[in-house]
Amino acid sequence: MKAVVTGGAGFIGSHLVDGLIARGDEVHIIDNLRSGRLENVHPQAVIHIEDVTGAKAGALILQIKPDVVFHLAAQADVTTSVLDPGLDETINISGTIRVLEACRLARVKKIIFASTSAVYGDIRKSPVSETDRTAPISYYGLSKQTAESYIRLYRRFYQLPYTILRYGNVYGPRQVAKGEGGVVAVFLNKLRKNEPLKIFGDGEQTRDFVYVRDIVRANIAAIDKGDGETIHVSTAQSTSLNQLIEILRRLHGSPIKTEYDDAKPGDIRHSCLNNRKAGQLLGFAPSFSVPEGLRETYTAETAHGASRRGRQP
């Protein structure tokens, strides 16, 4: 199979590229390297340093003629979206339209889209199901919801097959230490620097933390399954930030300093996603509990941090 992964040099995208290459697939990456890193890129992948909002990205898809496009490139930070909503529109909406149009013209067999639990906003229900009302409270969530609508209409008008995957809070090695969505990476970065962990709010806000390797499994399953569906990829388990810190404390083996501050505007209090549909349609069940995934992440990031320090003169 020939695949294009937009955002394939980023956190989730690079892990997906690894998984596809392990299957023997030919993989092309389209990434502007704004947040992605060349060091994340598998040596067997072909990387094209382009922005999905530009005409060249669409031309590349037409040239490559992939079987499947995994569209992961996005502006994914809630705080950034509040400060600059136009950036979300440009990347998450206009960029998605450009990718969709290229997929249509190239007769791509399927587009698999990375969406988010942020489309539900601060819904007072746990767990949330795919049929529940979407009501984003951030421009990021709104832009992803809008991109989903374009994808559904492209199927209606042009018969472009799709699967939309709404992720819980993804974590794992290579994650950038930035924003609420990357809280595990932020905390690990603080631990490396022996700095206190800063929590916005009381720490009792909960998230459905899902390990990146489970996200990869769901994306690969969606190649042949879940056509025309919107599906959660999650653990269906709630974990508070305070519980997360306690797990990290046990892994760290020493006390962890914490600081609490006011909650950020646009942040969601609780988020947990029902994953029953993923089991039914994709045959998906998470392989990693939060403690297991955090252990792998802590070990990998600690080793990576040590190797970086060892290279310093």
More confident residue, 47 or 254: 47
Question: Is pLDDT of 178 > 80?
Answer: no
Distance CA(258)–CA(25), nearest Å, equals 44
Specify the fold of 2-168+211-234+274-287.
Rossmann fold (3.40.50)
Query: Span 20-46, mean pLDDT?
Result: 97
Q: What is the pLDDT of residues 108-166, one digit of tens each?
A: 999 999 999 999 988 888 899 999 999 999 999 999 999 999 999 999 999 999 999 99
- Residue 158 annotated in active site: no
Q: What is the pLDDT of residues 34-53, one digit of tens each?
A: 999 999 999 999 999 999 99
Number of other CB atoms surrounding residue 81 within 10 Å: 26
**Which tokens is 254 given?**
């020493």
In the set 140, 162, 171, 298, the catalytic residue is 140
DSSP assignment string, 252-265: HTS---EEEEPPPT
Domain ranges of the chain: 2-168+211-234+274-287
Band of pLDDT at residue 313, cut at 50, 70 and 90: very low
Question: Is pLDDT of 304 > 90?
Answer: no
Question: Is pLDDT of 309 > 70?
Answer: no
Distance CA(173)–CA(159), nearest Å, equals 37
